[in-house]
Amino acid sequence: MFIYLLIIFAAVLIVPNIAFAAECPSVKSHKSGFVLSHSGVQSEFKTSGPVVSVQHGFADGGKQKAFLYQGLIEIFRSGNDGNYNQYFTSNLNDFWPLRVGARRTFEFIPLDADAFKEKWTLDLAVTKRRAFSIGYCSYDVFNVLYDVRRNGEEVERWTAVYAPDLLATVAKIYDEGTSNEETVSYTAIKPLK
């Protein structure tokens, strides 16, 4: 009798973990995509080869569509705040597979009449590898320093918390290492149905 109680107790502990594991999507396990969300934002991710399409929906009703190379490097964005396109003259694939210590500078041309003649670069540096939780799910992530420069001057700098299994930036860290450091991250994930 005691053995049967132990088996039932073990089953009660194991079954919820299996159910939670089944709801932790990845690019390989959920070909139709997945949804990441946090307060005020819901984002649908779908992949086609190395390009990831992301449809953002905001609490205020606004929408934004973006296309990213490997889910990390933005190549196109359109939404209520206008359109943004960039053409990379460097081979973006040279940065993959990611490893701590990897650094790469990519030259690009913003497809905008005002910025077309200036020199633009995107510097990426992988600084850390760690586990990162989204709801009940845990993913292997890389911290990637993301530094955009125009004519050598910094325009934008933040750290992407990038999950290769999702081909997605699951969090952004602003002012990393300072007293103003702020992290904005997705808090829930589910398969796209």
Question: Which tens digits make up the pLDDT trace of 20-58?
Answer: 445 899 998 888 899 999 998 999 999 999 999 999 999
| pLDDT score at 80 | 82
Q: How far is CA 117 from CA 12, 62, 109, 147, 151, in A?
A: 64, 32, 8, 20, 10
Q: What is the mean pLDDT of residues 131-136?
A: 96
Q: How far is CA 72 from CA 14, 53, 92, 165, in A?
A: 35, 11, 10, 12
- Checking if the pLDDT of 173 tops 90, the result is yes
- Checking if the pLDDT of 186 tops 80, the result is yes
* Fold exhibited by the domain 2-191: YmcC-like fold (2.40.360)
% of the chain with per-residue pLDDT over 90: 76
